[in-house]
Structure 1
Amino acid sequence: MSQSETPPRIWRVLGDKRGDNAQVEIVAEALARDRGWVSDLRHLEMLPQFVVGKPRVGPTLYHIDQSLSDPIEPPWPDLILTRGRRPANVALWIKKQSGGRARIVLVGKPAGWFSHQMAQFDLIVTSSETLPAPFDNVMQIDLPLMKISEARLEAGRKAWQARLDTLPRPLVVFLIGGPTSPFVYNAEMEARLRARMAQVLAEGGTPYIVGSRRTPKGFLDRVTAGLSDGVQRFDWSQPDSENPYTGLLALADRFVVTGDSISMLVEVARLGKALEIVALPYGGLGKLDDLRRRAAAWMFQARRNEGPGEALRLALARGLYHMRLLQQTRHFPGFHQILIDRGLASWMGEPSAGIGDHPALSATDGDVARILARIDPLLSGR
């Protein structure tokens, strides 16, 4: 774009999920910094039944409260940055109203990846835990664009330093997510976590266990049963207690994170903190489901060379996707192995020399530069 041309009109179409929004904001900030393209926010409020309930996938506004949302009206944008099922529906509706002129960059996997909807996104940016069908509009990056801001870390440090400084070191934080297919939270997992916490206590340190909204009721009680009073805890089921998460991110020495929580794993890894991953046990049909995910990981990988065998694999993968015989999914073990291979994590209880010596690449390095390079041609000739 020459200096005489008008900068593109860019909208950030976002809901109320802070983690989702932060990933879009990273791209928007890079566009403003590196291209000089400023974007406008279109904040969406959902109708009560769709705050948790999932609306159907497609170009629609039926799920948003238009009286509380920012106006969605012309002039339509040249580019939309969005993430999540609910905002993506609105982005698709805007594109339809613009006669197909508006370009959509979706950060994260589309919900309900039916082929006719997937093609409506001009660029889909997914990270390595997702297994998208290998179409030309899909771009895969390494780690999700998740990063705790310096301002949040500093606020957490100020709020919690006096309280955490009284605890024996090392301060080892256990971040607990919740069961997700194909994995379960069972007695075997509870026993492994309890043993690791007992090890921290035996070494004179402090284990601090932190649950989340997805953590099963009673799980923290069972894990900490029989351990000394030196264990610290935060439980989402006690709404009056203060969440120490950002304070612990800023001040703790080591983290043990359940493998189901991609966001917590990445936020710790990006800080360069020592990180242990809790391998998760499979449910009743979990191993069969894992085979399906491994098959998708092989079929849906990006083109590796220009040979005829690769062309055949890609054609077969796309055909299976169109027939809905093999859909996009996530493969957690593959993502865990990436963190370990890059020296960003170790398995719980295993030696971790060098882990945490250096932070992961900044979310604005490498991957974001590649994203901007893919956005540029979307706006050429507008």
Structure 2
Amino acid sequence: QVSETPLVWVLKSQRAGENTQLNALASALGWGYQVKQIHYRPGFPYFLLSSSLRGIDVEQSGFSEPWPDLVISASAKNEPVSRWIRDHAGKPVRLVHLGRPWASLKHFDLIVSTPQYRLPDRDNVYTNTVPMHFPVDSDKASKDIHHWGVRLNHLPKPYIALMVGGNSGPYTFDQRAIQRLVQEADQMAKSVGGSLLVSTSARTPQQVANYLGTHLSAPHYFHRWGVADANPYYAFLALAESIVVTGDSISMLSEACATLKPVYIFDLGERSVSMRTQQYFSKECLQYYLGQGFAHFELDYLRNIIYRLAMWKGPKRLTRDLRLVHAALIAQKRAVWLGDEFFENQQRQPFQDVSRTVNHIKRLLNKPVLPDVSTSTPQDSLLTPAFTGSE
């Protein structure tokens, strides 16, 4: 019998993006939760384990009674740990895993995933459109927006935010992609007499950031990720009238679409290696890379070829297909490809992925669900009144 307020453990991941989702979901449940910092043993073959603590330092990880009613985890490294907790708790423990598990799907009560992982349709699999995020802090958002609004006041409006990622799987931010991005972003800003608010990210290659910082000709403000200056990322999203995001970053795409503003996806590839092509791998794809000539053949091209072959012939668990998220966002009329016309007079609704996921978990534990999320105030939008400028 689950207590009136279930005890929730969150197994912290080694990846910051997964921890953002874990905390966002656990917080939205409204029951409070304990974060368990897992201390892994280096080099341990965690993927060979089933239900075990052999891959972690148990004492440092802080496992002790009372045992939880619910464990929320992500990352293959935490799968054996969550399964061990359930097997040794002496009471029913529900396991919720975010992303794509390495083990068989049957070992989890609920798997919360997104389209790029291509999980099969199962009763215990729920596929959101995009990753989950914490709502933006209203007070901090107001201060950041005011600060950057004053700082950018010399630039002509409207503002267009340009959020830049980096290499990802079968896609490379090569010289041709950088040049196309600069050309298309410049053209977009100049066509409306506005300015670009540019921000790179942790994955942006140095040569991409260098090129952007020196070759944009439209009025712009350029922020290089990692410099001492305050990060203007959320302020840029709030101040912009439209947003351009490179198609490699699903997190930045989801945050951009959460603003309910027009979002444009930049295609890192072109022709046979475009993000819009339907084929994983083809003769034309190979010819594209080899056609660059050995003098211009980058090591990243070899990585792209190997990844595309894995997508074509390898197990799905080894790769991601970002095109499925692009297709979902475009089908929901939240985004278009850069260069295409945005949907006119389209009423876009906030994402309801977090609130729907919360209801799935509450049903697992026989707890009252949230009101009908299709008609109630969304629980999961990144937006706050300060962030959107609404009342």
Q: Which runs of 5+ in 1 are unaligned?
A: 33-37, 294-323, 378-382
1:43 match? 36
1:91 match? 82
Contact 1:153 1:249 in 2 (8 A): no
Residue by residue over 1:342-378, the C-alpha shift from the partner in whole angstroms, topping out at 9 and shown as x without a partner, is 111111021113388534334444454345335549x
Contact 2:100 2:111 in 1 (8 A): yes
Structure 2 CA distance for partners of 1:163 and 1:148, relative to 1, 3 Å: farther
1:170 match? 158
Contact 1:170 1:206 in 2 (8 A): yes
Classify the secondary structure of the residue corresponding to 1:104. strand
Task: Tell me which of 25, 28, 32 is aligned to 1:27.
Answer: 25
| One-letter amino acid matched to 1:333 | R
Percent identity over the alignment is: 27
Classify the secondary structure of the residue corresponding to 1:172. strand
| One-letter amino acid matched to 2:89 | S
Q: In 2, Cα distance between the equivalents of 1:167 and 1:227?
A: 14
| Post-superposition offset of 1:226 | 3.7
Contact 1:271 1:359 in 2 (8 A): no
Structure 2 CA distance for partners of 1:292 and 1:284, relative to 1, 3 Å: closer
| Post-superposition offset of 1:284 | 9.6
1:348 match? 338
| One-letter amino acid matched to 1:340 | I
Residue by residue over 1:232-256, the C-alpha shift from the partner in whole angstroms, topping out at 9 and shown as x without a partner, is 21223x5323321121122222111
Structure 2 CA distance for partners of 1:202 and 1:343, relative to 1, 3 Å: closer
Classify the secondary structure of the residue corresponding to 1:215. coil
Count of matched residue positions in the alignment of Structure 1 and Structure 2: 330
Q: In 2, Cα distance between the equivalents of 1:231 and 1:173?
A: 10
Matched, 1:81 2:79: no
Structure 2 CA distance for partners of 1:147 and 1:246, relative to 1, 3 Å: same
Structure 2 CA distance for partners of 1:45 and 1:169, relative to 1, 3 Å: farther
Matched, 1:326 2:349: no
Matched, 1:373 2:370: no
| One-letter amino acid matched to 1:189 | A
2:301 match? none
Contact 1:172 1:254 in 2 (8 A): yes
1:303 match? none
Contact 1:184 1:281 in 2 (8 A): yes
| Post-superposition offset of 1:189 | 1.4
Structure 2 CA distance for partners of 1:173 and 1:189, relative to 1, 3 Å: same
Contact 2:161 2:240 in 1 (8 A): yes
Matched, 1:265 2:260: no
Contact 1:45 1:64 in 2 (8 A): yes
Contact 2:114 2:127 in 1 (8 A): yes
Q: Which runs of 5+ in 2 are unaligned?
A: 282-312, 368-391
Contact 1:273 1:356 in 2 (8 A): no
2:111 match? 124
Contact 1:130 1:331 in 2 (8 A): yes
Within 5 Å, which residues of 2 pair with 1:1-382?
6-15=4-13, 17-32=15-30, 38-44=31-37, 46=39, 56-57=46-47, 58=49, 59-61=51-53, 69=61, 71-98=62-89, 101-110=92-101, 113-115=102-104, 118-151=105-138, 152-199=140-187, 200-201=189-190, 203-228=192-217, 230-236=219-225, 239-281=227-269, 291=279, 326-328=315-317, 329-354=319-344, 358-374=348-364, 376=366
| Post-superposition offset of 1:266 | 0.5
Contact 1:258 1:278 in 2 (8 A): yes
Q: In 1, Cα distance between the equivalents of 2:150 and 2:44?
A: 42
Contact 2:27 2:33 in 1 (8 A): no
Classify the secondary structure of the residue corresponding to 1:208. strand
1:316 match? none
Contact 1:14 1:42 in 2 (8 A): yes
Q: In 2, Cα distance between the equivalents of 1:167 and 1:65?
A: 53
Q: TM-score, normalised by structure 1?
A: 0.73
| Post-superposition offset of 1:86 | 4.2
Stretch deviating more after TM superposition (361-370 or 193-202): 361-370
Structure 2 CA distance for partners of 1:126 and 1:375, relative to 1, 3 Å: farther
| One-letter amino acid matched to 1:179 | N
| Post-superposition offset of 1:124 | 0.7
